[in-house]
Amino acid sequence: MLPMEAIELDAFRRVHEDDTFWCGTLLGGCGGQLTTKLYTDRACHFAHHPDPDGLPHVCGRRSHGVDSADHLYVRSAAAAWLAGRGEQATFEYTRTEGAPIGSVVDVRWRHGALRVHLDQAVTPVWDDGVEPVLGTMVPVDRDTLIRRWYVHRIRLNSVGTARHVQIGTEAFARPIEWFALNECEMTERGLSTPAVEKIVQARTAPRPSLWSPGKARKVPEPEARAQALLRRLVYARRIESVPAVKQVCADIEDLTGVDEEFQEQLEAAVRHARVWLAEQDEARRKLFDNLNTAVEEQKPGQVRRLLMRVNATAAEERTDAESAVYERATTYFNSLDDLTRDAVEAEADTEKEAHKAAARVRSALQRLRGYDAYTPGLRPQVEELVRSAALAGELLTRGEARRVEVWKKRATRGPQEQLHVARRYWIQRSCPRCNAEQGKDCVLVEGPNSGKPRKDGHNERLQLELDERKAAQKEARQQKTAQQKVETSAEPVQSAPEAPEHEASPPRPLQERPQSGREGQAHAASKKTAARLHHQVPRGDWYRMGCPRCHVGPGKLCENDDRVGPSAKRQLPHDERLRRVLQSDDRIGPGEQQEGTRDERQHQVPPPARAKARPPRPRRIEREPQETAGSAARTWHAKEVTCPKCQARPNSPCTPHGPHQERVEWAKEFTRKLWG
489 Cα distance to chain centroid:
61
- Please give the pLDDT value at position 618: 56
CB 407 within 8 A of CB 374: yes
Could you state, in chain order, the average pLDDT of each consecutive group of 10 residues for the chain (676 residues)?
A: 81 88 85 84 81 72 76 89 84 74 85 86 82 88 83 86 87 85 84 85 58 51 83 81 84 84 86 89 88 88 83 75 86 82 81 86 85 83 89 86 88 84 87 87 81 84 88 89 82 48 43 46 45 78 88 88 76 87 61 42 46 55 46 68 84 82 84 70
DSSP state of 369: G
Q: What are phi and psi of 395, to 5 degrees?
A: -75, -10
Helix residue spans in 255-337 (DSSP H): 260-296, 300-313, 320-334
Distances (CA, A) of 429 to 27, 419, 421, 443, 646: 81, 15, 12, 14, 17
460 vs 356, 414, 416, 418, 464, CA distance in Å?
A: 38, 17, 12, 10, 7
What integer pLDDT is reported at residue 506 of this predicted model? 46
Q: Which of 577, 571, 578, 579 is nearest to 632 (CA)?
A: 571
d(CA 299, CA 340): 11
Report the distance separating Cα 473 and Cα 402, nearest Å.
Answer: 44
Picking from 327, 293, 288, the residue whose alpha carbon sits closest to that of residue 310 is 288
Contact 105, 75 (CB under 8 A): yes
Q: In this structure, are residues 590 and 599 in contact, taking their beta carbons and an 8 Å threshold?
A: no
Q: Classify burial at 480, counting beta carbons within 10 Å of its beta carbon; exposed 0-12, middle 13-18, buried 19 or more.
A: middle
The CA distance from 577 to 543, in Å, is 8
Helices (H), 554-612: 575-582, 598-604
Residue type, 143: D
Dmax (CA) of the chain: 158
- Give 387-419 as a 3 state SS string: HHHHHHHHHCCHHHHHHHHHHHHHHHHCCCCCC
| Residues in Cβ contact with 522 at an 8 Å cutoff, skipping those fewer than 6 apart | 536, 579, 582, 583
On whether the CB atoms of residues 383 and 411 are closer than 8 A, the answer is yes
Is the peptide bond preceding residue 656 cis, with omega within 30 degrees of 0?
A: yes
Cα(288)–Cα(295) distance, integer angstroms = 11
pLDDT at 187: 81
Q: How far apart are CA 282 and CA 276, in angstroms?
A: 10
CA-based nearest residue to 112, from 88, 94, 136? 88
- Do the strands 104-109 and 190-192 form a parallel or antiparallel pair, or are they unpaired? unpaired
Q: Is the peptide bond before 50 cis (omega within 30 degrees of 0)?
A: no
Cβ distance 409 to 374 under 8 Å? Answer: no
- Distance separating alpha carbons of residues 270 and 267, to the nearest angstrom: 5
Pairing of strands 104-109, 112-117: antiparallel
Residue by residue, what is the 3-state secondary structure of 116-162?
EECCCCCCCCCCCCCEEEEECCCCCCHHHHHHHCCEEEEEEEEECCE
Q: CA-CA distance, 93 to 106, in Å (whole number)?
A: 6
Residue type, 298: Q
Sheet strands (E) in 624-665: none
Cross-strand partners of 21: 34
SS3 sequence of 12-80: HHHHCCCCCEECCHHHCCCCCEEEEECCCCCCCEEEECCCCCCCCCCCCCCCCCHHHHHHHHHHHHHHH
CA–CA gap between residue 110 and residue 87 (Å, rounded): 7
CA–CA dist 606, 597 (Å, integer)? 15
| Nearest alpha carbon to residue 645 among 632, 661, 633, 624 | 661
Q: Is 529 exposed, middle or buried (0-12, 13-18, 19+ CB in 10 A)?
A: exposed
Q: Which amino acid is at 475?
A: E
- In single-letter form, the type of residue at position 560 comes to N
**Cα-based torsion angle of the residue sequence 540, 541, 546, 551 in order, rounded to the nearest 10 degrees:** -70
